[in-house]
Amino acid sequence: MSDAILNPEAPAAPEHVAIYRQDYRPPDWLVPEVTLDFDLSADRTRVLSTLKVVRNGQHDRPLQLAGDELKPVSVHVDGSQARWALHNDNLVIELSGNEGTIETEVELSPAANSKLMGLYASGGILCTQCESEGFRRITFHPDRPDVLSRYRVRMSADKTSFPILLANGNLVETGEGEDGTHWALWDDPFPKPSYLFALVAGDLGANRDIFTTMSGRKVELAIWVRENDLPRTRHAMDSLKAAMRWDEEVYGREYDLDLFNIVAVDDFNFGAMENKGLNIFNSRYVLADQDTATDADFDNIAGVVAHEYFHNWSGDRVTCRDWFQLSLKEGFTVFRDQSFSADMGSEAVKRIDDVRLLRAAQFPEDGGPLAHPVRPESYIEITNFYTATVYNKGAEVIRMMRTILGADSFRKGSDLYFDRHDGQAATCEDFVTAMEDASGIDLSQFRLWYSQAGTPKVTAHMIHDAATGVATLKLAQHVPDTPGHSGKQPMVLPLKTALIGADSGAQLGDERLILLDREEVEVEFEGVGEPPLLSINRDFSAPVLLQSERRAGELETLAASDPNPFARYEAGQELMLRALIAGARGEVIDSSPVIEAMRGTLMSNALDPAFKGEALTMPTEAMIGDRMEIVDPDAIHASRDALRRAVGAALTALLSEAQAAGAAGSDLSPHAKGVRRLKSVALALLTAGDPGRGAELAKMQFDAADNMTDRQGALMVLASLDAPEREAAFGAFYERYRADTLVLDKWFALQAASQRPDTMSVVEKLAAHRDFTLKNPNRWRALVANFAANQWAFHDASGRGYRFVTDMILAVDRLNPQVAARQVPVLGRWRRFEPQRAELMRAQLERIVATPGLSKDVFEQASKSLV
Ligand code: PHE
Ligand code: ZN
């Protein structure tokens, strides 16, 4: 919203002004039609825009059109020169009537646009990125999501350099122009907000297919990439068709245009973008084959392709009223893509992965200085709110509604929501209301999930009366304070719960859904004959931190026999965490319970290999730290290392067997993926027990691999060793893949994640490597984000890691503030660390804030982290 910009009392640095959700006002002017004419070239692009504007309501305020780094060449109102002024980049026009036609002309240089927002060049392709506020870098426009327009777009460009011209909607007409140019005219029949506008011009080839919708309409599908990359688009196409079918079957949603285009570009700030009918992707979420992509890459591609496709309904047909409502589309769409992936593979393994991500990325956010509700109250730079809270916790909120309502009512609610708000810009409140109206269930208190930040803490305590056969479960909740918000109300926490017999290991009675909706709740279970064990928050039905007293042997029994696979996994992880935390505190630990649990997992005939791979993966060092009062990275590292050594030494034979198994690289079935997952997890544990033998085995696995999963798994193990095999493998990998951008990212990432004392020095050298660049977000993140996530190396007591990451943030901020800002939160966690490190981290944040010319993106994240 640009209203603050004309406020005469606004501070001198208008870019640092906070915008509040409560200040929302409907737009002063609507823009029913937008006509754009692009004369495209990399260095100099001319944009002629014609907006039909209509006064919205009774007021006499001027028309304000947002601009960002735009210089108007000309402005016309109803065909004549107009009275206009520029206020902080925004165009202000006084209009006497209630309607008008505004024509503006601007000139852009896509090649010079290093922010990758607006119109930019990526490897010879011209493309756009408009969410959230990139359209104003292309032309003057209100550029807010509640202004929906019909778009007609003419693009003209040199035919040799840009043989393919794409935009939203349908292709109406093409033709030849002068001087070797050609043009295309596109029309999008669906009114859309400006953030969904897109165009692409480039030398691209298409993988084409046809999808027949449930009503029998034929949709032309195309995935556009460089000609050479076409063989690597098959999986993305299969995923797209599967997603289209799934959305019909599960949500009753049919695709609505005759064309659906996907384009892959190498330089992209996020994962992908759901522009209407023309999704633009980071190439890492499109391109894959057996030789260059891991199973995880394949799964991510399916998930992201589905996610962007699902946005066609949850995002495009029904969009957001304002950016505070971002989770309306993102939380819902993440939930939809999670469900899709669960249906395509193993539900339990997918849930384990999603929860791991939530704990790794969202819990720290919720517990730190940047904590914000799923529906934030204010922002300085909206791009900073594309967070794990809005996306992943937002998805958990949708999931909880489905758990509480049941599948049928939830589907009725989503039908009602789409039906009621089709073509509108809606709010989170609208979504919840639709769910209430369809189900008859009151969600008043549940709405607190949208307004209260912080991960609720739940404590559970159970007593069993053997004489009466009654087990009493006492549950309590507490929602912690977060910056600017204390004294919170109790939330609605849906907890799937069952009791497991301590002697029999069998489930006693049915699973129950307990709604913990007060500070304390007591629940009774009757007819409990044997001592019961508590299996609670099964499937992670509520995103909470659970503390439950556990007697000796309890977690062991649950880890071996809980029939709910997620709960079983959780018990095993909890068992490991207890040992790891005790070890980090310097206590002498008995590793045998963990070893025996892992032995049981490895020997089980009932468990599939994918689950075994998950169950044998120890909590990361960061996760251990998250569970401790004060983080001491060295102690945590030593503790985890010791437990891994003990496991590796004790289970050599079983681990060797799992490592020796394999699956043909061409086999992408869930089973084959599981076998490969387990193979590399086993290799890593074996190596912990015997590094010499591990180096040999890893090199053998590396050399024999017929797929990237095995190859990368081996290289990851070698990365942390001090052995000649390490250099040989990294050298061979580099020689083989040096020309392949996406695979070379792995080469950087693996070295940045390595667990060796010299990692810092290696990473500093890699930052000066000829293949490193600040300009490509994937490459930058491969090195910097992976290093910063390497707790032991990043948090080196010298503070060298903090200085390095800060240098990299400041360097990239001058080119691309969005990429820079996303790396600030790792420093913002300083309060969690022991005092010397905390001080060193804080000093780097001070240094960032004191840097002249800082972007508002980085300013917001760094200044809030210091408060
Ligand atoms: N809306 C995109 C998605 O979640 C993410 C995105 C945001 C991409 C901003 C680019 C810029 O699918
Ligand atoms: Zn999304």
pLDDT in tens, 238-256: 999 999 999 999 999 999 9
Ligand that lies nearest to the alpha carbon of residue 333, given by its number in the listed order = 2
- State how far the alpha carbon of 176 is from the alpha carbons of 159, 168, 181, 639, 833, in Å: 9, 21, 6, 69, 64
pLDDT the model gives residue 92: 97
| CA–centroid distance, residue 136 to ligand 1 (Å) | 17
The whole-number average pLDDT for the span 528-550 is 97
List the residue whose alpha carbon is closest to atom 11 of ligand 1.
131
CATH number at residue 437: 1.10.390.10
Confidence bin at 93 (pLDDT 50/70/90) = very high
| CA–centroid distance, residue 272 to ligand 1 (Å) | 6
| CA–centroid distance, residue 809 to ligand 2 (Å) | 25
- Answer yes or no: is 347 within a domain: yes
- Answer yes or no: is 126 within a domain: yes
- Looking at ligand 1, which atom is closest to the CA of residue 308? 12
Among 131, 308, 365, 614, the one annotated catalytic: 308
Return the structure tokens found at 513.
Answer: 């859904």
pLDDT the model gives residue 721: 98
Residue of 197, 270, 279 with the most ligand 1 atoms within 8 Å of its CB, for mutation: 270
Statement to judge: residues 178 and 29 lie in one domain:
yes
Phi then psi for residue 268, to 5 deg, are: -150, 135
| CA–centroid distance, residue 194 to ligand 1 (Å) | 14
- Between CA 311 and CA 274 the distance in angstroms is 6
Ligand that lies nearest to the alpha carbon of residue 336, given by its number in the listed order = 2
User: Which of 179, 203, 227 lies at the terminal end of a domain, its last residue?
Assistant: 203
| CA–centroid distance, residue 383 to ligand 1 (Å) | 9
For 219, how many CA atoms within 13 A lie in the half-sphere containing its CB? 20
Burial of 248 (0-12, 13-18, 19+ CB in 10 A): middle
pLDDT the model gives residue 438: 98
- Between CA 270 and CA 281 the distance in angstroms is 9
- Answer yes or no: is 87 within a domain: yes
User: Which of 435, 451, 467 lies at the terminal end of a domain, its last residue?
Assistant: 451
Burial state string for 308-334 with b = 16 or more CB within 10 A and e = fewer than 16:
bbbbbbbbbbbbbbbbbbbbbbbbbbb
pLDDT digits (tens, 9 = 90+) for 729-749: 999 999 999 999 999 999 999
pLDDT the model gives residue 81: 86
pLDDT digits (tens, 9 = 90+) for 264-307: 999 999 999 999 999 999 999 999 999 999 999 999 999 999 99
**Residue span of the structural domain in which 446 resides:** 318-451
- State how far the alpha carbon of 293 is from the alpha carbons of 269, 301, 624, 707, 717, in Å: 20, 10, 30, 8, 18
- Tally Cβ neighbours within 10 Å of residue 661: 12
pLDDT digits (tens, 9 = 90+) for 146-203: 999 999 999 999 999 999 999 999 999 999 999 999 999 999 999 999 999 999 999 9
Return the structure tokens found at 632.
Answer: 């001491």
Confidence bin at 3 (pLDDT 50/70/90) = very low
- Looking at ligand 1, which atom is closest to the CA of residue 383? 9
Q: Which helix (H) or strand (E) holds 254?
A: none
Burial of 269 (0-12, 13-18, 19+ CB in 10 A): buried
Residue 864 has pLDDT above 60, yes or no: yes
Whether the CB-CB separation of 242 and 344 falls below 8 Å is answered with yes
Residue 833 has pLDDT above 50, yes or no: yes
ipTM greater than cut 0.90: yes
Statement to judge: residues 326 and 184 lie in one domain:
no
- Answer yes or no: is 760 within a domain: no
pLDDT digits (tens, 9 = 90+) for 324-339: 999 999 999 999 999 9
Instruction: Name all contacts of 347-356 with Cβ < 8 Å and 24+ positions apart.
Output: 348/565, 348/566, 348/569, 348/611, 349/610, 349/611, 349/614, 349/670, 349/674, 351/539, 351/540, 351/566, 352/566, 352/569, 352/611, 352/614, 353/614, 354/392, 354/395, 355/540, 355/566
User: Which of 137, 168, 203 lies at the terminal end of a domain, its last residue?
Assistant: 203
List the residue whose alpha carbon is closest to atom 1 of ligand 1.
273
Categorise residue 594: left if φ over 0, alpha if ψ from -120 to 50, beta otherwise. Answer: alpha
- Answer yes or no: is 634 within a domain: no
| CA–centroid distance, residue 269 to ligand 1 (Å) | 9
Return the structure tokens found at 461.
Answer: 């305590």
Ligand 1 pocket by C-beta < 6 Å: which residues?
129, 131, 269-270, 272-274, 307-308, 330, 386
pLDDT digits (tens, 9 = 90+) for 658-717: 999 999 999 999 999 999 999 999 999 999 999 999 999 999 999 999 999 999 999 999
* Residue 219 identity: V
Statement to judge: residues 141 and 18 lie in one domain:
yes
- Looking at ligand 1, which atom is closest to the CA of residue 315? 1
DSSP string, 426-495: E-HHHHHHHHHHHH----TGGGHHHH--SPPEEEEEEEEETTTTEEEEEEEEEPPPBTTB-SPPP--EEE
- State how far the alpha carbon of 135 is from the alpha carbons of 5, 130, 479, 790, in Å: 18, 5, 39, 36
Cα 191 from chain centroid (whole Å):
27
pLDDT the model gives residue 15: 63
Return the structure tokens found at 318.
Answer: 């029904």
Whether the CB-CB separation of 845 and 828 falls below 8 Å is answered with yes
Count of domains for the chain: 2
- Answer yes or no: is 864 within a domain: no
The whole-number average pLDDT for the span 603-628 is 98
Statement to judge: residues 185 and 45 lie in one domain:
yes
pLDDT the model gives residue 218: 98
Statement to judge: residues 182 and 331 lie in one domain:
no
- Between CA 626 and CA 832 the distance in angstroms is 8
Statement to judge: residues 322 and 198 lie in one domain:
no
Q: Which helix (H) or strand (E) holds 184?
A: strand 181-193
List the residue whose alpha carbon is closest to atom 12 of ligand 1.
273
pLDDT the model gives residue 48: 98
- Tally Cβ neighbours within 10 Å of residue 4: 16
Residue of 116, 120, 127, 131 with the most ligand 1 atoms within 8 Å of its CB, for mutation: 131
Return the structure tokens found at 310.
Answer: 């699902």
CATH number at residue 55: 2.60.40.1730
Residue 589 has pLDDT above 80, yes or no: yes
Residue 823 has pLDDT above 80, yes or no: yes
- Answer yes or no: is 222 within a domain: no
**pLDDT, mean over the chain:** 97
Pairing of strands 532-536, 164-167: unpaired
Question: 227 catalytic, yes or no?
Answer: no
- Between CA 301 and CA 109 the distance in angstroms is 31
Which DSSP symbol is given to 380?
S
Statement to judge: residues 66 and 193 lie in one domain:
yes
Rg of the chain (C-alpha set): 28
Q: Is the pTM of the predicted complex or chain greater than 0.90?
A: yes
Residues near 427 by Cβ (< 8 Å), separated by ≥ 6?
320, 321, 325, 328
Residue of 273, 276, 305, 312 with the most ligand 1 atoms within 8 Å of its CB, for mutation: 273
Percent of the chain with pLDDT over 70: 98
- Between CA 441 and CA 434 the distance in angstroms is 11
- Answer yes or no: is 96 within a domain: yes
| CA–centroid distance, residue 546 to ligand 2 (Å) | 29
- Looking at ligand 1, which atom is closest to the CA of residue 274? 12
The whole-number average pLDDT for the span 634-658 is 98
Residue of 386, 389, 778 with the most ligand 1 atoms within 8 Å of its CB, for mutation: 386
- Tally Cβ neighbours within 10 Å of residue 413: 24
List the residue whose alpha carbon is closest to atom 3 of ligand 1.
273
- Looking at ligand 1, which atom is closest to the CA of residue 391? 4
For 693, how many CA atoms within 13 A lie in the half-sphere containing its CB? 16
Statement to judge: residues 169 and 30 lie in one domain:
yes
Residue 310 has pLDDT above 50, yes or no: yes
